[in-house]
């Protein structure tokens, strides 16, 4: 009984050993068939095409790696510690600068449109809205240099339109009367000394502010007038009326203030970033809703040196011709600024520029569906085109739509590449297979 049991145990052990050997051999054979397909078989061609970095590279490989562990690099081909066949990594298989490669089918599905970097002359232009104001260069003040009072007031309402030479008021000034009588006494003098006194008397009338018409009347009519009429020195609007009928005034008092309307000012607020587009003496055209179809010509005469801290705008002052006095202070007008065309420079469609807040980039299209992200320095957009100061060359193909997806993919690729580089530099790659 004991011998029979011992024989059964030996037989069972032998069978178990054969079964284990068969399992190990079968697993080895299956693993070999899976990892080393025939070179000319469809599976072999498919696997070779799907290996990342294996088919796109040219030249000498940079290193070999296991597709399951891409961060682990090897200096020679062979099998990885996981038992997988390693694949080579070529320098042009993936853009180290953050570029990506997109198939033609994906390009069509994403609706990616391409454009060109061109050279063109941009004509600066800017639109703004401003309010009309009086031109302070066309202000005349009628002031009293002596004491007196008003005997008759011709213009009795503020903002009344007046014309040059129009009577404003009749006044009586005792000092004027005395000076006229003195001058009259010397008008007919013929002696050499009398002529000097005559000139002095006339000069006194001028200093006291007697109107030229009143001085000429004394010399021609040989008579004086107790009252003197003041007339408007220019065409304009009575913006300040300092006297009334019968009112007395002191020396130095402002009697009338007249603003001319031959030209008016328009003060427009321009964004700080756009001030360079409205240089001094650049031309401008204005359109007022009060006068549809009418265009008023003007030019930039001043850039006021103060920026509003709230709106970050700067006031641009434009002088507009107003020959018919159609523009009145307080009106709102639309301004179109124009400047001479610039020298030809590199420009791209504005839709091609991605502004992130920290940088401006353009997606450049290369050969065989490759794309690269390029940092650019840009100018001010004009008519849908943006000047490029650096980063691009004339004739380059650029992406006009779908670039946000490409930029995101390129940023992700660049991040992965930096992580790979950091991991590689922190370890010494083995000389042979691991």
**Highest mean pLDDT pick, 64-68, 198-202, 229-233, 338-342:** 229-233
Instruction: Label residue 57 by pLDDT band (50, 70, 90).
Output: very low
Helix (H) or strand (E) holding 406: helix 403-425
Residue 72 has a pLDDT of 77
Residues 86, 91, 96, 99, Cα dihedral to 10°: -100
Q: How far apart are CA 127 and CA 268, in angstroms?
A: 10
pLDDT tens digits along 343-384: 788 889 888 888 877 888 888 888 777 778 888 988 878 778
Instruction: Establish how many alpha carbons lie within 13 A of residue 419's alpha carbon, considering only the half-sphere containing its beta carbon.
Output: 9
- CATH number for the region 102-121+344-403 comes to 2.40.420.20
Average pLDDT over residues 129-153: 92
Domain boundaries defined on the chain: 102-121+344-403, 125-135+261-338, 145-252
Instruction: Name the CATH superfamily for 125-135+261-338.
Output: Efflux pump adaptor protein, beta barrel domain (2.40.30.170)
Is residue 320 within 8 A of residue 327, CB to CB? The reply is: yes
Q: Which of 38-47, 142-151, 280-289, 362-371 has the lowest mean pLDDT?
A: 38-47
Q: How many residues does the chain have?
A: 434
Q: Please tell me the predicted confidence (pLDDT) of residue 46.
A: 39
Calpha distance 396→15 (Å, rounded): 74
Q: Using the 8-state DSSP alphabet, how is residue 276 labeled? A: G
Measured CA to CA, the distance from residue 284 to residue 426 in angstroms comes to 64
- In whole angstroms, give the CA distance from residue 130 to residue 267: 5
**How does pLDDT run across 166-222, given as a tens digit for each residue?**
999 999 999 988 988 888 888 877 677 777 888 888 888 888 888 888 888 888 888
Higher pLDDT, 130 or 85: 130
Whole-model pTM: value is: 0.56
CA neighbor of 263 nearest in space, from 317, 301, 320, 318: 320
Q: Give mean pLDDT, residues 399-416.
A: 60
Alpha-carbon gap, residue 224 to 178, rounded angstroms: 9
Q: Give yes or no on whether 102-121+344-403 and 125-135+261-338 have one common fold.
A: no
Helix/strand/coil for 142: strand
From edge to edge, which strands make up the β-sheet containing 254-259? Answer: 139-143, 254-259, 236-241, 161-162
């Amino acid at each position: 009984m004991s011998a029979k049991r011992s024989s059964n145990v030996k037989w069972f052990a032998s069978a178990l050993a054969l079964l284990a050997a068969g399992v190990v051999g079968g697993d080895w054979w299956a693993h070999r068939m899976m990892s080393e397909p025939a070179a000319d078989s469809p599976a072999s061609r498919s696997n070779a095409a799907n290996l990342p970095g294996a088919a796109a590279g040219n030249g000498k490989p940079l290193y070999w790696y296991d597709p399951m562990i891409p961060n682990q690099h090897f200096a020679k081909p062979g099998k990885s510690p996981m038992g997988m066949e390693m694949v080579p990594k070529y320098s042009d298989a993936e853009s180290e600068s953050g570029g990506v490669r997109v198939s033609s089918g994906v390009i069509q599905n994403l609706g990616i449109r391409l454009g060109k970097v061109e050279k063109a002359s941009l004509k600066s232009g800017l639109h703004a809205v401003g309010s009309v104001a009086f031109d302070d260069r066309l202000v005349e003040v009628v002031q009293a240099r002596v004491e007196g009072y008003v005997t008759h007031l011709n213009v009795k309402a503020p903002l009344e339109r007046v014309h040059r030479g129009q009577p404003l008021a009749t006044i009586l000034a005792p000092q004027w009367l005395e000076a006229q009588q003195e001058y009259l006494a010397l008008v007919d003098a013929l002696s050499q000394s009398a002529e000097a006194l005559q000139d002095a008397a006339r000069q006194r009338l001028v200093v006291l502010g007697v109107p030229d018409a009143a001085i000429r009347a004394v010399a021609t009519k040989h008579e004086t007038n107790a009252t003197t009429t003041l007339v408007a020195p220019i065409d304009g609007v009575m913006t300040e009326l300092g006297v009334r009928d019968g009112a007395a005034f002191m020396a130095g008092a402002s009697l009338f203030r007249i603003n001319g309307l031959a030209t008016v000012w328009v003060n427009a607020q321009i964004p700080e970033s756009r001030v360079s587009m409205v240089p001094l003496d650049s031309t401008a055209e204005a359109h007022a809703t009060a006068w549809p179809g009418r265009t008023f010509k003007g030019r930039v005469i001043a850039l006021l040196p103060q920026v509003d801290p709230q709106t970050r705008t700067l006031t641009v002052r434009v002088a507009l011709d107003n020959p018919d006095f159609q523009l009145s202070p307080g009106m709102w007008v639309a301004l179109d600024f124009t400047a001479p065309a610039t020298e030809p420079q590199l420009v791209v469609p504005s839709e091609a520029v991605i502004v992130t807040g920290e940088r401006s980039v353009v997606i450049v299209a290369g050969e065989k569906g490759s794309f690269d992200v390029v940092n650019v320095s840009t100018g001010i957009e004009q008519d849908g085109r943006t000047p490029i100061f650096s980063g691009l060359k004339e004739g380059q193909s650029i992406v006009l739509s779908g670039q946000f997806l490409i930029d995101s993919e390129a940023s992700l690729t660049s991040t992965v590449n930096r992580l790979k580089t950091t991991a590689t530099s922190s370890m010494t790659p083995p000389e042979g297979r691991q």
